[in-house]
Structure 1
């Protein structure tokens, strides 16, 4: 396990088609040998030309589930322009549904109540373990890294006496959810490597259910540290909450593959292809609705998330253990 946790994640080339030009970007792939799977032809059709001719009238509503990463008001604000864009691009109604927690969005996938879902990598594997017939379609390109990965982080108050991870023993900590990749899996892996037992070594552990709520727990003095990720932390800074004056990054993880948009394998190949073109040609200024500031999207596949799958196996964090 230590070898796996200490190894560096490799970078491979991956193609992103955006606004009728080809950009070559780096994407995180597994140290276990996973390759980049997303490919699309270099046909420079506009999105209006690309969408299937049959997608005109009387088509079923496309239902999309979303993790609760922000406040309800903020997430609804972020969803609106994307909703309008997709309805125009796909020529059908699109219905976004924000889950109350990580488990609910996985439930929707398993029960086939949604056709697609924005989830974290851990939630993807939980859905598979529970029998959901889904596959990754696209993932955001992080605006700050220029790549389809981000970093998990642990944040503490700026004047905290906590200087290293070992100093967290006996302290209060907030994890987002046991189904969160950056808000649980990655920091747990770091703690295990240092022989820190989350079940015994912390004074208190809470699971607020979203990155925004977890970060608010630190702001309100309810915990001494919070497990989150760098994009969410930077978004919090932009709204004047966890600023560089009152907080700091204690720890950052190795690169983590960005959260995938999952699609049902039961969707028609034509609709899946239309969705690829819609996201790869998305206009500037439309925010990613789970909080990442994006510089576009790229195609992804199961192999791109092999490092997360392997890490869950090594830490014995399958679905039954994580409930």
Structure 2
């Protein structure tokens, strides 16, 4: 790895993520496969948890959808309003969005039945399955700029930082988002592990911001030397003037990562699930994705599209740990 290179891609590492498109009906969807995984970690891998077959269920009085926190509550509620109105119009029934206080609560809501659908990260999807929740991925957002259902994880440092490579992070203060965050923890951690870097051992301090916005604030306040997030969120921060090209830069970015899915309970009536698919696939332009991505609509996905992320979790011995932050 060149000491002068400011951006490192996964393609320079011994393994990479590649996307194999698939065409369910007339809609493109995402399939992900890991190529040449060579992470030298203790394995102890177990089989990917599988959801059970759906049981018969009556239509709920209201469809309740949990949302992982990505912004401050006021901003997230503003983003929810137009999508909520669209879904209610297509479904012909009440739709309630519940913003979770953290990543773990978004899964808790599915476990205890407070919600029957969720905007959740990929890691949270597998955590839900491991806790016995019968859910399946329904749709995922299409990135506005790439026209693909994927995004990139990244690590950001100050523009004048002496940090030039991932190895330079040793002895520095680094903030991740949450242990259940795909872009804000899992993907950067995998890249660090490839270089034999252990955050707990090699960093001066490891922090968890809780949300992408709170993690960004740590870098803005100079409380840390680097943060993990994703390029879409970083681009939004620059547009809002929270971080700019003059005061920050990308140290590292990943290869494409599948966008977070909208999960639905398999206990919902099949006809309602089909109508929900229709509702998302006909989302009008301009309605923002609730996880923060700038989107050009949604596409159909299923569990196989996220299998590579689960395999990475198993390689890193994450499957049994769950979220602790």
CA contact (8 A) 1:16 1:280 kept: no
Alignment of 1:255-270 (within 5 A): 255-270=256-271
Q: By how many angstroms is 1:318 displaced?
A: 1.7
Q: By how many angstroms is 1:124 displaced?
A: 0.5
Gaps of 5+ in 2: 1-9, 37-57
Structure 1 position 111 matched with structure 2 position 119: no
**Distance in 1, Cα, partners of 2:153 & 2:179:** 14
CA contact (8 A) 2:122 2:182 kept: yes
What is the TM-score when the length of structure 1 is the normalising length? 0.86
Q: By how many angstroms is 1:203 displaced?
A: 0.7
Structure 1 position 295 matched with structure 2 position 296: yes
Gaps of 5+ in 1: 34-54
Note the alpha carbon deviations across 1:256-301, whole angstroms, 9 max, x for none. 1110111000000000000101111110010101100001111111
**Distance in 1, Cα, partners of 2:247 & 2:35:** 39
**Distance in 2, Cα, partners of 1:213 & 1:137:** 29
CA contact (8 A) 1:12 1:26 kept: no
Alignment of 1:134-213 (within 5 A): 134-213=135-214
C-alpha change, 1:27 and 1:6, in structure 2 (3 Å) is farther
Alignment of 1:30-49 (within 5 A): 30-31=33-34
CA contact (8 A) 1:153 1:227 kept: yes
**Distance in 2, Cα, partners of 1:168 & 1:114:** 40
C-alpha change, 1:75 and 1:319, in structure 2 (3 Å) is farther
**Distance in 2, Cα, partners of 1:276 & 1:120:** 18
Corresponding residue for 2:130? 129
**Distance in 2, Cα, partners of 1:88 & 1:259:** 24
Q: By how many angstroms is 1:32 displaced?
A: 6.4
CA contact (8 A) 1:9 1:28 kept: no
- Secondary structure at the counterpart of residue 112 of structure 1: coil
CA contact (8 A) 1:28 1:255 kept: no
Structure 1 position 251 matched with structure 2 position 259: no
Q: By how many angstroms is 1:235 displaced?
A: 1.1
Q: By how many angstroms is 1:9 displaced?
A: 2.5
Note the alpha carbon deviations across 1:24-45, whole angstroms, 9 max, x for none. x573521369xxxxxxxxxxxx
- Secondary structure at the counterpart of residue 170 of structure 1: coil
Corresponding residue for 2:215? 214
CA contact (8 A) 1:16 1:297 kept: no
CA contact (8 A) 1:65 1:97 kept: yes
CA contact (8 A) 1:32 1:307 kept: no
Q: Which residue of 10, 17, 20 corresponds with 2:18?
A: 10
CA RMSD after TM alignment: 2.1
**Distance in 2, Cα, partners of 1:77 & 1:16:** 33
Number of residue equivalences: 293
Corresponding residue for 1:281? 282
